[in-house]
Amino acid sequence: MNLQATIAAVKKGEVKAEERVNKFLQVIQSTKEFNAYIKINDKQAKAKAVSVDHRIKDGRKTGKLAGCVVAIKDNINIKDQETTCASNILKGFISPYSATVIEKLEQEDAIIIGKTNHDEFAMGSSDENSCFGPVKNPHDPKRVPGGSSGGSAVAVALDTVDVALGSETGGSVRQPAGLTGITGLKPSYGRVSRYGLVAFASSLDQISPFAKDTADLAVLFNVIAGHDERDSTSAEIEVPDYSAYLNKDVKGMKIGIPKEYFADGLDGEIRDGILQIVEQLKAAGAEIRDVELPLSEYGVAAYYILATAEASSNLARYDGVRYGHRNKDKAGLTEMYAQTRNEGFGDEVKRRILLGTYVLSHGYYDAYYKKAQKVRRLIKNEFDSVFSEVDALITPTTPTTAFLIGERADDPLQMYLSDVYTVTANLGGICALNVRAGKDKNKLPFGLQIMANQFKEEILFQIGDFIDRKCTRYQWE
C-alpha cells in the first residue's frame, strides 16, 4: 500500500496511527546495527499517533499527512529537542525553535519518530564522519550508505518510516538514495524553506525529501514546498500539485543524454542499466537527444572551493561562547576558542574549514574563490542553454555502487569524486531526482538521476513515476 492509500486508510479508521508507530518502533529496535538514528522520539510519536486516532474517531479534521511517520536529519531544528549535527561541538544544544518544514509537517499531522545520523555538519559522501559512528548500508553492512544524509536514506530503506527529510549541498540526498535503492529529490534552490536548517554552505543547501518511490515523494513534497517569508532565499513562486503529474506517460517529452556523464570512470553495469531504461523511455515515445555539458568537468573543483569557503564562514559561530561544547581548561579567550574547536570538530570538518579559509585569504581569493564563482555562473548558463532544447536530462547518480566502510578514508580526493554527477545541480540551483535503476552483480543498488530546470520539479515527478511504474530495471530483482 502506497503512502497516499495508507493515509486514506488511517483517515477512515481502517488503520490505526498508533499501531503504525508501534510497528515502526519495533523495526527500528531490530535494525539498530545500521546506526541510522541518533535519537528516537518514541513518547512524542506515540502521543501524536493517539491524538490523530482520537480525532479521526471523533470525526474531527486531520491533516494531509495524518498517520504518516517521518524521520528527520539531525541538522534540522525541532523545538525543545537536541540538534547535534552529528558533532561533538553541538552535543547538548536544545533548539529554541522548529524549522519551517517541521512546522508544516506537524500542522498536517505527520508523526516525527526520530532524528537520523549523518556526516558531521553534512560534510561527507559516505556517512563515516559522524561523532556517533558510521551509518551502514542495508544491502551490505560492511559498506557505506552514501552521505551526508545516509541515516535518513537507511531509515526509509529499512522500512523504519514512510518518508524522511535530509539536506542537500552537493548530492547528499540523491547519492545515498542511489546507493540504498530508494528515491531522493534535490529541490530547486528556493523551493523549500531553509529556515531552521543548520547551515553548511548557504548558497547550496536545500532541505530535501526521501521516499520509497516517486509517488510517495510527491505526497511529502506537496506539504514542504512553498514560499517562507522567514527565509530570504525562499522563492515566491506558485507550487503545483505534484501528485497531478503521476500516472502519466512520457510521449513527446525531450530527454537529453549528456555524454560527459557517461565517460570514463563510470561503472559499466551502471552505464548499461541506465541506458537500458533510456531505451525503454524512447520506446514509450520520449524523444532522446545527445547533448553536451562540457563545463561539468569543472563542477567538483568549483563546488569544493565554494562549499568550503561558505563552511569556514558559517562554522565560525561555533566558538564555545554562545552554545554547544566549551573547553573550560583554557583561561585565555583565544586559547579557549582554539581548544574548543579542536575538541568539538572532527577531521573532515577541520579539513573543510582550513580549505575554505585558505581560498578566502588575501592573495588567493581572486585565484580560487572568485574564479569558482565565475565557473558557477557559466555552469548555470550551460544548463539554461541545454534546457531550452530538452525538458530533462538523464545521467548516473554515482560513478560506482556502495564502497566499503574505510575504503576511501585516507583519500579525500577520491571521496570527493563520489559527487562528480551531482554537484552541478547544486551549483546551478536546478532540481534533480534519483530513482532506483537496478542492481549490479553483487546485488548492490544504483540510481538514475533526472535533472530539470529551476522550479520544474513536476517534470521530474512525471518521468520518475513513469520509470517506477513502467521500466524494467536492470538486474533489479
Task: Give the up-direction half-sphere exposure of residue 159: CA atoms within 13 A in the CB hemisphere.
Answer: 8
Contact 27, 160 (CB under 8 A): yes
How buried is residue 91: exposed, middle or buried, by Cβ count under 10 Å (0-12/13-18/19+)? Answer: middle
How do beta strands 392-396 and 254-258 pair? parallel
How buried is residue 47: exposed, middle or buried, by Cβ count under 10 Å (0-12/13-18/19+)? Answer: middle
Residue 200: name the closest of 83, 117, 314 by CA.
314
Residue 148: name the closest of 118, 184, 178, 186 by CA.
118
When pLDDT is cut at 50, 70 and 90, the band that residue 52 belongs to is very high
Sign of the four-CA dihedral 152, 156, 158, 160 = positive
When pLDDT is cut at 50, 70 and 90, the band that residue 39 belongs to is very high
Residue 19: name the closest of 10, 29, 8, 28 by CA.
10
From residue 287, give the alpha-carbon distance in Å to each of 260, 271, 272.
19, 19, 19
**Arithmetic mean of pLDDT, 134-154:** 98
pLDDT for residue 1 = 86
| pTM strictly above 0.95 | yes
pLDDT for residue 472 = 67
* Cell, residue 398: 554515482
Residue 451: name the closest of 182, 188, 148 by CA.
188
Across the strands, what pairs with 465? none
Task: Give the up-direction half-sphere exposure of residue 61: CA atoms within 13 A in the CB hemisphere.
Answer: 4
Place of cell 547551515: 199
3-state helix, strand, coil in the chain (%, to 5): 45, 15, 40
Mean pLDDT of the chain: 96
Place of cell 560506482: 400
Q: Which domains does the chain have, with CATH numbers?
A: 3-245 (3.90.1300.10), 254-301+375-454 (no CATH), 304-365 (no CATH)
When pLDDT is cut at 50, 70 and 90, the band that residue 96 belongs to is very high
Contact 324, 344 (CB under 8 A): yes
- Catalytic site includes residue 172: yes
Contact 266, 447 (CB under 8 A): no
Task: Give the up-direction half-sphere exposure of residue 249: CA atoms within 13 A in the CB hemisphere.
Answer: 9
- Catalytic site includes residue 202: no
> Which of 87, 130, 148, 193 does the annotation list as catalytic?
148
For residue 244, the SS3 value is helix
**Arithmetic mean of pLDDT, 336-360:** 95
pLDDT in tens, 157-167: 999 999 999 99
Q: DSSP code of 425?
A: H
When pLDDT is cut at 50, 70 and 90, the band that residue 331 belongs to is confident
How many Å separate Cα 364 from the centre of its chain?
32
**Arithmetic mean of pLDDT, 442-448:** 96
> Which of 126, 149, 152, 172 does the annotation list as catalytic?
172
pLDDT for residue 322 = 86
> Which of 73, 136, 212, 439 does the annotation list as catalytic?
73
**Arithmetic mean of pLDDT, 333-345:** 93
- CB count within 10 Å of CB 58 equals 7
Q: What's the rounded Cα separation, in Å, for the pair 90 and 341?
A: 11
476 has pLDDT over 80: no
**Arithmetic mean of pLDDT, 360-386:** 96
- Catalytic site includes residue 312: no
When pLDDT is cut at 50, 70 and 90, the band that residue 474 belongs to is low
Strand 287-291: give its sheet, edge to edge. 37-40, 111-116, 69-73, 163-168, 206-211, 183-186, 431-439, 445-452, 392-396, 254-258, 287-291
DSSP 36-62: -EEEE-HHHHHHHHHHHHHHHHTT---
pLDDT in tens, 67-93: 999 999 999 999 999 999 999 999 999
Q: Which amino acid is at 42?
A: D
Q: What's the rounded Cα separation, in Å, for the pair 424 and 422?
A: 6
pLDDT for residue 410 = 82
